[in-house]
């Protein structure tokens, strides 16, 4: 109310509102170029700039160290003046568990920047920082990220962490990676001219493009063969590039339907084997207030939810309704993104992160796959020629390594060429900002859905004979329940508790009412009626009616406690 | 000490007669040691035999106690670090402190026997032995505390009774006898009744037969949270032996928050992963793979569970060919030790299951001892019976019927009375009644195992009785038997080294195909009983295969065959793998073949010309 009054007072030089967000507004306090991607150090440095500008609101925590001893940083974003972080519902947002899937890191950074820049001028931004907390981990895999920027890679490599792994079981570790033969920082393809003995030919209009020659009985053969990624047989075992750096998948390492390597490649010897994954698991287990999870990946334009495997079955219906509401909003906020189920619409994943955060911890969790492709439309998958058109016309050909000759020790004269590492999974710079803005704002949508409990005005009735009834409605005003149906079914975490206390008051009976109009329709709790225990919590926008029968007079306090919502309080006077 | 001929050749494995033990004084009873004493024993043993025994720290328990192993390796280990190793682990369960004593007994006997005993020498000169006598020191310590309680949980606690409070109503010693036992409360709504043959034993009332319950049964303790449930929310819940990744039961309170969350569990996993030379695991704990018959599961590839990209063989259970090996080894074990104890332990998230299913290691597991269900027969009869055992075992040694998830501690009470009762109307004693009969017959020294039901005024429940089987009653053999049990197991354990796969180059020849042209043939052979890799290891791709390398001088050139061949499917009992190369080079050059394995030794042989 106070804030409203202040707004009505005309001010001399009104501060321009609406930026960031509206283009004609004021300049941001901290300028960050959103059309670029940043390596691990630069990404962390931007976060530290934000923390330096808003020291009370953004704080850095190191939750562990990566295999290469990089800091695993989680930034906590909220206003501590409005209460400790542990008491507020929290959203966890991370990116870049796959080292090559970098732009999630910028999306996490953008989320912090956008809320901080808008906090003083936008009521919703302020409410988020007051009533909620964000735990932001820009890079789950800082080693993989650093490697992707600093070393020779393609769009798909550096997915793993960097712990040496004997992929080919020959007793040697990471001894046969792809090799940047031409030293240009990209791992591209090798092709060889073998006139009349190949299975590829060059496209007649664009010789950069390889076309497969279909098998036929007419004796038509191609003049080219493809020889895989740029590389050598470093260990002389007759295979090329078969034991690269790392070789595991930190998004198959989580203890939900976790399966060993022979079922799920990349899973590692046991769940949470790598320090990055274990540090995060410990953090989340120590923060039961986390009520929402987003884990950014690339690419394909997806808003993914579990289950990761068909054998899990389906999630409880009540939780699916929550997922669907958020997921469908996401489809509108993210044009051409599809809301999908991992196992059904993508592929089977055992031990995925968002599977664990929901199936293990009972948190409503999504993974967004950032960036479709140059057409942005999943209905029109583009082919190589379309990609060249885009690259030629919109990037002046910057994204392609032209085929050039190389003398290979095994294959002889070959050509090396193909798309650069920052083509295919990350958008070009001019499309970055839109992508990260839309995805960061989907996190805002998700965070605003976190549970908020209110206790409505209690009604006190005299039942005669010294007995008093207190009727009250407790409500969750948001769509995410205080306890998901999964948490209820699997008894994850602590149940919610609603207490009535007062010095002069003896609570004789109490329970949740099952009928709005008939106060005697009540599920009485047998023991400790002053402390009602609610395993199911408060569901999506659920209102519960509670009745206590008490003896005595005076002031009574009602308190609703839940791990994933702020405590709700209300006092009532019994006269 | 008698010695077994080592190494056993395969054929002898099946038909070796039991060794006649020379007449000696009966072995001394084993002493149960608390953590501090066990740790100092391990240290002393390593200090006394510095050339043979090393103390290795695996990690620390949640309570900060060191988890330690003794590594015993005789001479020869320097020459071949890839020689096979046996890992003996005891007491993952926590309550099996006696199993710890047996493991320590083995370590001590091996260390002290090495100098003068040819059998021990043969074992330790060819095989490394790791002994982890106490994998779960925190839970084990409850054995030495007052009051005494049989405790298996040592890790993360949960809110068992879902009242929003954690650990507020633990078991306790109410009657001050120093033991946490059981409370029975007369209650017409109770589900338990007295056994008709022995009123001290309780059995579940079967309502379908018109039986009525008479008692409610609780662990000894208060009802501190006054919810009419007794001792239902202990502060600790997670168990080390339920916390391994294979068959881990998500959301079960004993399973822990995630596999390997318990530091003891993770320490064991890391130890196994750090020692690729392990070829066999022996487990003295709650699990059993040697007494109950193991039904193998099909090895046919099936779809990946849950639909996936790779096809795989079943990921649960013992694969057929491995089950066959275990069947044979179980037979030998029972013959050597006379043990017929079945395990009542769940294998969900167990150490043994992880070792086998995920790491491909064969696990020989035994629960060592339980209160016998039969009266004690004289030894000769018992031996004869065991000797005459047929592959299809007698009815009384069939595995127990699967039981509902009552805690292991309570399982024995449910027994198999229902099946027996169907045969005729005469009341049959329940398993607990049989145990009581054995305890009675064993005399006053064993009377501690049962606390007579004694009236007690319970602060919340009113008049109750406290009593029942005492903690550890079913885990610790009589003092007079423990030494002999350990000695028999030591004899059996010593024989295991000879079973382990060891590769050798049975043939290595060069055959002249023309001038300067040679065909090189090498035959890799495994004479031991066990295969180079179990079927499970090959499925899991958990172990490195044998790497076979052709070694040529500068003058030689490989014209055919790869630089390295990899062999993982090398059966036991003389299994062979033949490898050939085509080589160009002068007569005078030396051609050699080198075999490297992680856990079955190394071999090098110069090719001899075949004429």
CB contact under 8 A, B563 and A359: no
Give the whole-angstrom CA distance, residue A98 versus residue A353. Answer: 12
Q: Tell me what ipTM this predicted complex has.
A: 0.95
Q: Which chain A positions have a beta carbon within 8 Å of B547's beta carbon?
A: 170-171
Local structure of residue A50 (DSSP, 8 states): H
Compare CB distances from A533 to B164, B547, B563 and report the shortest one's residue: B164
**Average pLDDT rounded to a whole number, residues B7-18:** 37
**pLDDT of amino acid A21:** 76
Compare CB distances from B539 to A257, A262, A348 and report the shortest one's residue: A262
Local structure of residue A215 (DSSP, 8 states): P
Q: Return the minimum-mean-pLDDT range out of A218-222, A546-550, B296-300.
A: B296-300
**pLDDT of amino acid A324:** 98
- Res. B181 pLDDT band, cuts 50 70 90: very high
Compare CB distances from B541 to A238, A255, A261 and report the shortest one's residue: A261
Could you tell me if A469 lies within 8 Å of chain B, comparing CB atoms? no
Q: Return the minimum-mean-pLDDT range out of A29-43, B16-30, B589-603.
A: B16-30
Contacts of B174 (CB under 8 A, 6+ apart): B183, B220, B221, B222, B456, B458, B466
Residue of chain A nearest B251, judged by CA positions: A490
| B311–chain A nearest CA distance, Å | 8
Compare CB distances from B563 to A237, A260, A347 and report the shortest one's residue: A237
Q: Return the minimum-mean-pLDDT range out of A3-12, A321-330, B29-38.
A: A3-12
**pLDDT of amino acid B411:** 41
pLDDT at B440 over 80: yes
**Strand ranges (E), A117-180:** 133-137
- Tokens found for residue A344: 């059904």
Q: CB-based burial of residue A93 (10 Å sphere; 0-12 exposed, 13-18 middle, 19+ buried)?
A: buried
Q: Is B577 helix (H, G, I), strand (E, B) or coil?
A: strand
Model confidence pLDDT, tens digit, residues A476-505:
999 999 999 999 999 999 999 999 999 999
Q: CB-based burial of residue A109 (10 Å sphere; 0-12 exposed, 13-18 middle, 19+ buried)?
A: buried
**Average pLDDT rounded to a whole number, residues B113-138:** 97
Q: CB-based burial of residue A201 (10 Å sphere; 0-12 exposed, 13-18 middle, 19+ buried)?
A: middle
**pLDDT of amino acid B304:** 55
Q: CB-based burial of residue A226 (10 Å sphere; 0-12 exposed, 13-18 middle, 19+ buried)?
A: middle
Backbone angles phi, psi at A364, to 5 degrees: -70, 115
CB contact under 8 A, B306 and A310: yes
Residue of chain B nearest A284, judged by CA positions: B257
Q: Which chain A positions have a beta carbon within 8 Å of B544's beta carbon?
A: 166, 169-171
Residue whose C-alpha is closest to residue A319's, from A189, A505, A449, A207: A449
Residue whose C-alpha is closest to residue B93's, from B343, B334, B274, B317: B343
Q: Which chain B positions have a beta carbon within 8 Å of A238's beta carbon?
A: 562-563
Q: Could you say which residues from 242 to 281 on chain A have a Cβ atom under 8 Å away from some Cβ of chain B? A: 255-265, 269-272, 281
Instruction: List the beta bridge partners of residue A200.
Output: A212, A224
- Res. A27 pLDDT band, cuts 50 70 90: confident
User: Sheet of A58-65: strands edge to edge?
Assistant: A58-65, A71-77, A133-137, A90-95, A290-298, A364-370, A302-305, A338-341
- Res. B27 pLDDT band, cuts 50 70 90: confident
Please provide the average confidence, as pLDDT, over all residues in chain B: 88
CB contact under 8 A, A271 and B312: no
Q: How many pairs of residues across A and B have Cβ atoms under 8 Å apart?
A: 120
Q: Is A259 helix (H, G, I), strand (E, B) or coil?
A: coil
- Res. A19 pLDDT band, cuts 50 70 90: low
**pLDDT of amino acid B422:** 52
Stated as kind and residue range, the H or E segment containing A107 is: helix A103-118
**Which is more confidently placed, B7 or A167?**
A167
Could you tell me if A238 lies within 8 Å of chain B, comparing CB atoms? yes
Q: Which chain B positions have a beta carbon within 8 Å of A343's beta carbon?
A: 306-307
- Res. B484 pLDDT band, cuts 50 70 90: very high
**pLDDT of amino acid A572:** 97
Instruction: Characterise A22 by phi-psi region: left (phi > 0), alpha (psi -120 to 50), beta (else).
Output: beta
**Average pLDDT rounded to a whole number, residues A384-410:** 96
- Res. B402 pLDDT band, cuts 50 70 90: very low
**Average pLDDT rounded to a whole number, residues B193-202:** 96
pLDDT at B32 over 60: yes
Q: Return the minimum-mean-pLDDT range out of A382-396, B310-324, B525-539.
A: B310-324
Model confidence pLDDT, tens digit, residues A87-103:
999 999 999 999 999 99
Compare CB distances from B308 to A348, A359, A533 and report the shortest one's residue: A348
**pLDDT of amino acid B80:** 82
pLDDT at B390 over 60: no
| B179–chain A nearest CA distance, Å | 30
- Res. A374 pLDDT band, cuts 50 70 90: confident
Work out the percent of chain A whose per-residue pLDDT is above 70. Answer: 96
- Tokens found for residue B246: 């294979």
Work out the percent of chain B whose per-residue pLDDT is above 90. Answer: 81
| A299–chain B nearest CA distance, Å | 20
CB contact under 8 A, B310 and A265: yes
**pLDDT of amino acid A339:** 98
Query: Per-residue DSSP letters for B519-538?
Result: EEEEEEEE-SSS-SS-HHHH
**Average pLDDT rounded to a whole number, residues B220-231:** 96
**pLDDT of amino acid B303:** 59
- Res. B117 pLDDT band, cuts 50 70 90: very high
Model confidence pLDDT, tens digit, residues A114-165:
999 999 989 999 999 999 999 999 999 999 999 999 999 999 999 999 999 9
- Res. B489 pLDDT band, cuts 50 70 90: very high
Model confidence pLDDT, tens digit, residues A437-446:
999 999 999 9
- Res. A460 pLDDT band, cuts 50 70 90: very high
Please provide the average confidence, as pLDDT, over all residues in chain A: 95
| A271–chain B nearest CA distance, Å | 6
**pLDDT of amino acid B544:** 96
**pLDDT of amino acid A344:** 95
pTM: 0.92
CB contact under 8 A, B258 and A533: no
Buried b (16+ CB within 10 A) or exposed e, A338-358: bbbbbbeebebbbbbbbbbbb
Cβ neighbour number for residue B253 with a 10 Å cutoff: 18
**pLDDT of amino acid B225:** 95
Q: Which chain A positions have a beta carbon within 8 Å of B257's beta carbon?
A: 285
**pLDDT of amino acid B377:** 55
Q: Are B459 and B394 in contact (CB under 8 A)?
A: no
Model confidence pLDDT, tens digit, residues A255-272:
999 999 999 999 999 999
**pLDDT of amino acid B316:** 84
Model confidence pLDDT, tens digit, residues A178-237:
999 999 999 999 999 999 999 999 999 999 999 999 999 999 999 999 999 999 999 999
CB contact under 8 A, A311 and B307: yes
| A173–chain B nearest CA distance, Å | 12
**pLDDT of amino acid B611:** 82
Buried b (16+ CB within 10 A) or exposed e, B299-318: beeeebbbebeeebbbbebb
Q: Which chain B positions have a beta carbon within 8 Å of A260's beta carbon?
A: 245-246, 315, 357-358, 540
Q: Could you say which residues from 321 to 360 on chain A have a Cβ atom under 8 Å away from some Cβ of chain B? A: 343, 347-348, 350, 359-360
**pLDDT of amino acid A381:** 77
pLDDT at A14 over 70: no
Give the whole-angstrom CA distance, residue A373 versus residue A423. Answer: 9
- Tokens found for residue A166: 């004997």
């Amino acid at each position: 109310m106070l804030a409203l009054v202040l707004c009505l007072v005309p001010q001399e030089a009104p501060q321009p509102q609406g930026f960031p967000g509206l283009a004609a507004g004021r300049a941001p306090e901290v300028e960050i170029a959103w059309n670029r991607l940043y390596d691990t150090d630069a990404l962390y440095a931007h976060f530290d700039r934000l923390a330096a500008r808003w020291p009370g609101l953004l704080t850095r925590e190191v939750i562990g160290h990566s295999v290469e001893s990089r800091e695993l940083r989680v930034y906590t974003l909220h206003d501590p003046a409005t209460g400790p972080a542990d008491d507020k519902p929290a959203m966890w947002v991370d990116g870049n568990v796959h080292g090559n899937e970098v732009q999630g890191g910028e999306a996490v950074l953008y989320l912090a920047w956008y809320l901080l820049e808008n906090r003083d001028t936008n009521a919703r931004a302020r409410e988020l920082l007051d009533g909620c907390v964000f735990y932001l981990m820009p890079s789950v895999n800082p080693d993989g990220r650093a490697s992707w920027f600093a070393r020779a890679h393609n769009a798909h490599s550096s997915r793993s962490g960097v712990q040496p792994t004997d992929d080919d079981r020959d007793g040697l570790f990471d001894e046969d990676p792809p090799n940047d033969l031409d030293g240009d920082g990209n791992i591209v393809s090798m092709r060889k001219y073998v006139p009349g003995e190949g299975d590829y030919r060059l496209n007649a209009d664009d010789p950069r493009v390889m076309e497969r020659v279909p098998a036929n009985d007419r004796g038509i053969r191609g003049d080219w063969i493809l020889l895989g990624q740029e590389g050598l047989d470093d260990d002389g075992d007759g295979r090329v590039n078969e034991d690269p750096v790392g070789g595991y998948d930190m998004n198959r390492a989580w203890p939900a339907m976790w399966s060993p390597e022979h079922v799920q490649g990349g899973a590692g010897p046991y769940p949470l084997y790598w320090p990055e994954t274990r540090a995060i698991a410990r953090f989340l287990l120590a923060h039961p207030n986390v009520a929402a999870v987003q884990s950014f990946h690339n690419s394909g334009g997806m808003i993914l939810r579990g289950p990761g495997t068909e054998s899990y079955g389906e999630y409880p219906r009540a939780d699916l309704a929550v997922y669907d509401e958020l997921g469908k909003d996401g489809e509108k906020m993210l044009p051409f993104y599809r809301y999908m189920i991992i196992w059904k619409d993508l592929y089977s994943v055992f031990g995925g992160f968002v599977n664990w955060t929901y199936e293990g911890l009972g948190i409503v969790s999504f993974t967004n796959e950032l960036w479709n492709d140059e057409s942005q439309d999943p209905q029109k998958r583009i082919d190589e020629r379309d990609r060249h058109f885009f690259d030629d016309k919109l990037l002046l050909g910057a994204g392609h390594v032209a085929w050039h000759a190389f003398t290979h020790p095994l294959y002889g004269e070959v050509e090396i060429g193909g798309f650069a590492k920052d083509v295919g999974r990350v958008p070009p710079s001019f499309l970055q900002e839109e992508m990260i803005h839309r995805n960061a704002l989907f996190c805002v949508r998700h965070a605003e859905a976190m549970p908020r409990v209110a206790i409505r005005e209690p009604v006190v009735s005299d039942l005669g004979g010294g007995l008093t009834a207190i009727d009250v409605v407790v409500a969750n005003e948001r769509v995410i329940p205080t306890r998901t149906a999964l948490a209820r079914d699997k008894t994850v975490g602590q149940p919610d508790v609603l207490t009535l206390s007062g010095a002069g008051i003896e609570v004789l009976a109490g329970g949740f009412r099952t009928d709005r109009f008939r106060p005697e329709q009540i599920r009485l709790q047998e023991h400790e009626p002053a402390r009602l225990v609610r395993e199911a919590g408060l569901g999506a926008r659920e209102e519960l009616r509670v009745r206590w029968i008490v003896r005595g007079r005076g002031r009574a306090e009602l308190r609703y406690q839940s791990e994933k919502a702020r405590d709700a309080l209300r006092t009532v006077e019994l006269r | 000490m008698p010695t077994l001929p080592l190494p056993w050749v395969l054929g002898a494995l099946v038909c070796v007669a039991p060794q006649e033990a020379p007449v000696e004084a009966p072995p001394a009873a084993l002493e149960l040691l608390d953590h501090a004493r066990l740790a100092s024993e391990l240290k002393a043993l390593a200090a006394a035999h510095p050339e043979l025994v090393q103390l290795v720290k695996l990690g620390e328990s949640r309570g900060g106690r060191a988890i330690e192993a003794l590594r015993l390796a005789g001479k020869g280990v320097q020459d071949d670090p890839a020689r096979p190793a046996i890992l003996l682990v005891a007491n993952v369960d926590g309550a099996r402190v006696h199993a710890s004593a047996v493991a320590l007994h083995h370590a001590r006997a091996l260390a002290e026997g090495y100098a003068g005993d040819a059998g021990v020498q043969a074992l330790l000169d060819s095989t490394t032995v790791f002994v982890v006598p106490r994998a779960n020191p925190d839970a084990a310590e409850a054995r030495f505390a007052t009051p005494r309680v049989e405790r298996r949980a040592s890790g993360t606690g949960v809110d068992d009774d879902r009242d929003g409070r954690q650990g507020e109503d633990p078991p306790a010693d109410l009657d001050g006898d120093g033991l946490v036992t059981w409370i029975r409360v007369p209650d017409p709504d109770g589900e338990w009744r007295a056994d008709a043959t022995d009123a001290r034993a309780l059995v579940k009332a079967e309502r379908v037969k018109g039986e009525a319950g008479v008692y409610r049964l609780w662990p000894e303790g208060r009802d501190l949270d006054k919810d009419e449930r007794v001792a239902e929310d202990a502060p600790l819940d997670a168990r080390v032996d339920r916390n391994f990744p294979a068959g881990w039961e998500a959301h079960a309170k004993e399973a822990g928050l995630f596999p390997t969350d318990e530091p003891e569990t993770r320490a064991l996993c890391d130890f196994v992963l750090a020692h690729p030379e392990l070829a066999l695991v022996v487990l003295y704990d709650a699990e059993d793979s040697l007494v109950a018959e193991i039904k193998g599961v099909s090895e046919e590839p099936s779809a990946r569970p849950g639909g996936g990209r790779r096809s795989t063989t079943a990921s649960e259970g013992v694969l057929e060919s491995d089950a066959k090996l275990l069947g044979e080894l179980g037979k030998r074990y029972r013959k050597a030790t006379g043990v017929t104890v079945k395990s009542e332990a769940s294998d969900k998230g167990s150490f043994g299951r992880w070792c086998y299913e995920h790491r491909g290691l064969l696990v020989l597991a035994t629960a060592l001892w339980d209160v016998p269900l039969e009266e004690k027969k004289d030894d000769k009869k018992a031996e004869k019976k065991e000797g005459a055992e047929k592959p299809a075992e007698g009815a009384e040694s069939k595995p127990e019927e699967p039981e509902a998830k009552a805690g292991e501690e309570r399982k024995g009470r449910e027994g198999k009375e229902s099946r027996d009762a169907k045969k005729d109307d005469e009341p049959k004693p329940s398993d607990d009644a049989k145990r009581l009969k054995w305890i009675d017959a064993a005399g006053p020294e064993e009377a501690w195992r049962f606390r007579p039901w004694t009236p007690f005024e319970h602060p919340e429940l009113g008049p109750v009785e406290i009593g029942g089987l005492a903690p550890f009653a079913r885990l610790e053999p009589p003092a007079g038997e423990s030494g002999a049990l350990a000695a028999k197991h030591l004899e059996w354990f010593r024989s295991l080294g000879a079973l382990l796969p060891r590769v050798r180059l049975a043939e290595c020849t060069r055959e002249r195909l023309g001038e300067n042209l040679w065909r090189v043939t090498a035959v890799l052979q495994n004479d031991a009983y066990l295969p180079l890799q179990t079927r499970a290891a090959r499925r899991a791709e958990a172990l490195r295969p044998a790497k076979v390398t052709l070694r040529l001088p500068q003058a030689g050139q490989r014209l055919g065959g790869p630089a390295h061949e990899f062999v993982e499917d090398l059966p036991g009992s003389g299994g062979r793998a033949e490898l050939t190369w085509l080589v160009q080079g002068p007569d005078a050059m030396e051609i050699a073949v080198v075999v490297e394995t992680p856990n079955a030794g190394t071999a090098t042989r110069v090719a001899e010309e075949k004429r």
